[in-house]
Amino acid sequence: MKLDPVSLTRDLVAIKSVSRWSNARVSGLVEEWFREHGFETERLDYVDENGETKVSIVGRKGRGTGGLAFFSHTDTVPGQEEDWDPYDPVVGDGRISGRGSCDMKGPLAATMAAAAAVDPGELEQPVLVMATADEEVGGGGAKQVVRESRFFSETRPRYAVVAEPTELWPVYAHKGGVLVMATARGEAAHTSTDLGTSANFLIAPFLAEMAELAKDVKRNPRYRNADFDPPTNGFNMVFDDGGTRPNVSAARCTCQIGFRPMPGDESRELMEIVAGRARAHGLEVETTHKGPFYVSPDADLVQLASRASAGRKPKTVPYGTDSIWIKDQVDELVVLGPGNIAQAHTVGEWISIDQLKEAVQIYRRMIHEICGPATS
C-alpha cells in the first residue's frame, strides 16, 4: 500500500507549501519518500527575495543517458483558510480534497508512485522525477533544476512530461504570458491647494487608447490562433493609483496590460505596440514576455502519450506551465496529468481518485516504452 498515490497525495497536501513561504518541509517528505523507494536523490535550493529557502528535489532511478523526466511543483497558491480547511485533506466520494490536491500534489504523487514501482536494474535508460519550487511565482525551481541539477546534466533526458492537470489528455501546446507595466508619476497635493499633478490624468489618454486597441486585438487574425479555445489572447488591463482619496492628486498610477501569446501569432509586435504607446505618453515602461509552449502533435512523445492514455487525442490548453523553461533542454515534451484545471486554485480544490490511479498506469506505460521493462 506504500505505493498508493492517494495516501501520498494526502500526506503532501497536509503540509502547507504556499509559494510565499519556504517549501522545505514538503520537499523533505518527497526526499525521504524517494530514499525509501530506491531512488537516488539530489537537493537544490536558493533563497528567494523574501528570504525564504526554496527547495527542489530530483529523484533518479537507473543510470546512463536519455530516458524520461517527470516535472511537478510542490508550491501552491494561498489556501484561503477563512473559507475552508485547506490542509486537512478529505478522502471520500471518489475524491481527495485540499489545497494542491489537483495543482499539483496529486499529479506529483502519481509520477512518484509510477517511478517507484520500477526496478532500477531493469531500466535501460534512466527515469527522473522532479519536485520543484515556485511554479506559481515565476518557475524558479524548474529553472534552477534544468540549469544546475547534476542528475539532469548527467542524464540529459530525451523526453519530459510536465504533469500539470490536463484530465490525462496529452497537451502539445499552451499559451504564454506577456505583461507590459506602464507607470505615470505625478505630484500629490490636497486638491484645496490645486498645486498637485495627477498621475491619473497623465495616464488616462494611454488607458483610452488601450480600450480601443483591445477591440482590435480580439478581432485581428494576427493575434488569434484557431487551435485554441478560446482563439483569442485574453488581452486585459488593470490599474492602481494606490487608493488615492478624491481630495488628493495621485502621485503614481500604474497600468498593467497582460495577454497570452500563442504559437505563430504576432505577440511580440503587439507587446511593442503597447509599450510604444505608453512611451509616447511619457510613461515609464517595463515588459516581460514568456513565449507559448509548442511541440508538433505528431512528435513521438506526444503520440506515445496518446497511446498510453487509451488513445486520448493530443490537444491544446489556454493556461501556462513550467514547460517554457524546460522545453529547450529536452528533445520532446508533453504536458499530461490527472485532474481538471478548473479545480485548481479554488476553495474545495479536489482531484478524482480514478484519474490519479489511471495516471500511475499511464506513466508506467510511458516509462516502460521509453526506458525499458517496467511492468509488474
Distances (CA, A) of 312 to 1, 36, 83, 116, 215: 29, 34, 36, 25, 36
Nearer to Zn ion, 164 or 241 (CB): 164
First to last CA, the chain: 15
Residue 322 near Zn ion by CB under 5 A = no
104 contacts Zn ion (rule: CB under 5 A): yes
* Cα four-point dihedral sign 101, 104, 108, 114: positive
- With CB under 5 A as the contact rule, which of the stretches 10-18, 95-103, 246-254, 287-295 interacts with Zn ion? 95-103
**Least CB distance from residue 243 to Zn ion, whole Å?**
31
Q: Which residues face 171 on adjacent strands?
A: 315, 335
Task: Report the residue number, 249 or 323, with the smaller CB distance to Zn ion.
Answer: 323
> Which is nearest to 120 in space by CA: 56, 57, 34, 44?
34
Minimum distance from CB of 52 to Zn ion (Å)? 19
Among the candidate windows 86-94, 163-171, 304-312, 346-354, which touches Zn ion by CB under 5 A?
163-171
Answer yes or no: are the C-beta atoms of 176 and 264 closer than 8 Å. no
Nearest distance from C-beta of residue 246 to Zn ion, angstroms: 41
Hey, which residues between 272 and 311 contact Zn ion (CB under 5 A)? none
Q: Which residue is nearest to Zn ion (CB)?
A: 103
Provide the mask over 16-45, with x wherever binding to Zn ion is found by CB under 5 A and - wherever it is not: ------------------------------
Residues in the chain: 376
> For 297-306, b where at least 16 C-beta lie within 10 A, e where not — what string?
bebbbbbbbb
CA 362 to chain centre: 21
- Piece of the chain touching Zn ion by CB under 5 A; list 37-45, 161-169, 180-188, 195-203: 161-169
Q: Please give the size of the binding site for Zn ion, defined by CB under 5 A.
A: 3
Q: Report the nearest approach of Zn ion to the CB of residue 293 (Å).
A: 14
Shortest distance (Å) from residue 90 CB to Zn ion? 21
Nearer to Zn ion, 105 or 224 (CB): 105
Rounded to 10 deg, the angle between the 24-36 and 106-116 helix axes is 20
Give the residues across from 248 on adjacent strands.
190
Residue 103 touches Zn ion, criterion: CB under 5 A: yes
Task: Give the range of 112-120, 140-148, 162-170, 302-310 binding Zn ion by CB under 5 A.
Answer: 162-170
Residue of 302, 339, 368 whose CA lies nearest to 163: 339
Q: Which residues bind Zn ion (CB under 5 A)?
A: 103-104, 164
